[in-house]
Amino acid sequence: MSNETIVNIKKSILHMTHYSKSSHVGTSLSIVDILYVLYYRIMNIDPANPKMPNRDKFILSKGHGSAALYATLAERGFFNKELLDRYYIDYGVLPGHLDMEAVQGIELSTGSLGHGLSVGVGMAIANKLDNNDGKVYVVLGDGECNEGSVWEAVMLAATLRLQNITVIIDYNKLQGFGRTNEIINQENMAERWKAFGWDVIEIDGHNLQQLEKAFNSKAERPKAIIAHTIKGNGISFMADQLDWHYRSPNEDQLVAAIKELEGKL
Ligand SMILES: Cc1ncc(C[n+]2csc(CCOP(=O)(O)OP(=O)(O)O)c2C)c(N)n1
């Protein structure tokens, strides 16, 4: 059984990448469950008041997974779902990498990997100084963790013992051109984050209960959730297949994927 909202978000992602013939469908399907739990069960947000000063803020640092965030925001009511038809096309509205000027609800433009956590740490420091109880959530790709700038931000957050920031590592074990651990080995992902002074929780990133529990758990230090995920999750012919980093579904593949999703309801 799958949740109807999650199925709707996944359908939108498939339609968007099919229509625009664009890449990163696997990247996007990897994080739908994480986004669903954050946007429907965890974060203090109001689509009718998207700039609410004490809101929680979300940064998708792996900004090439934009289809997932646009689809989630539209489903949650931040903007009209019709705009999803104007994704990643000439004269479109929603650029292929996230644009905070395009629609309401996007806190940071991302796409150049390795920068989202630094900005998230800045937001968390600002909230602390302002006595603002808003929290900051940042999703990083596992391949993205190859970037040295990620670890500069990790060290600063630990030094300042920021309790108002949570990182979710989308540990799908693939990146653009191969297996993450064959390119730069990060098999000991949890140990790394612990060694850098973060509280670490390791979970199945497609299990809604585990996700919710991890987000709600108390932490003394900045929190890293290592979410084991599957790139292309939910569509059998895309799951854990490197090709779907760049390929987009053709008409037959779109129909087959939608049928598979609807069969799970
Ligand atoms: C600074 C930078 N270098 C290279 C790229 C090109 N690039 C786009 S996606 C990608 C792989 C990302 O892998 P990962 O973070 O694991 O995300 P996934 O798509 O596997 O979920 C790369 C290297 C980029 N966007 N930014």
Look at residues 25, 21, 11, 136 and name the one whose alpha carbon lies nearest to residue 75: 11
* pLDDT tens column, 187-206: 999 999 999 999 999 999 99
3-state helix, strand, coil split of the chain in percent (to 5) is 45, 10, 45
Give the helix/strand (H/E) hosting 57.
strand 57-60
Q: Is the CB of 23 under 6 A from ligand 1?
A: no
Main-chain dihedrals φ then ψ at residue 223, nearest 5 degrees:
-110, 130
Q: Which residue is associated with the tokens 């096309």?
A: 89
Q: Are 99 and 111 in contact (CB under 8 A)?
A: no
- Name the amino acid, one letter, at 145: C
Question: Could you tell me the pLDDT band of residue 1, with boundaries at 50, 70 and 90?
Answer: low
Q: Determine the distance separating the centroid of ligand 1 and the alpha carbon of 176, expressed in angstroms.
A: 6
* pLDDT tens column, 15-50: 999 999 999 999 999 999 999 999 999 999 999 999
**Order of all β-strands in the sheet with 165-171:** 57-60, 136-141, 165-171, 223-228, 199-204
Q: Determine the distance separating the centroid of ligand 1 and the alpha carbon of 1, expressed in angstroms.
A: 31
pLDDT-above-90 percentage for the chain: 98
Look at residues 41, 13, 8 and name the one whose alpha carbon lies nearest to residue 29: 13
* pLDDT tens column, 120-135: 999 999 999 999 999 9
Dist CA 45 CA 97 (whole Å):
23
Dist CA 52 CA 13 (whole Å):
27
Q: Is the CB of 63 under 6 A from ligand 1?
A: no
- Name the amino acid, one letter, at 88: Y
CATH number, span 4-263: 3.40.50.970
Q: Convert 152-179 to b/e letters by CB count within 10 Å (16 or more is b).
A: ebbebbbeeebbbbbbbbbbbbbbeeee
Dist CA 163 CA 185 (whole Å):
28
* pLDDT tens column, 62-106: 999 999 999 999 999 999 999 999 999 999 999 999 999 999 999
User: Which residue minimizes the CA distance to atom 19 of ligand 1?
Assistant: 27
Q: Are 107 and 69 in contact (CB under 8 A)?
A: no
Q: Is the CB of 233 under 6 A from ligand 1?
A: no
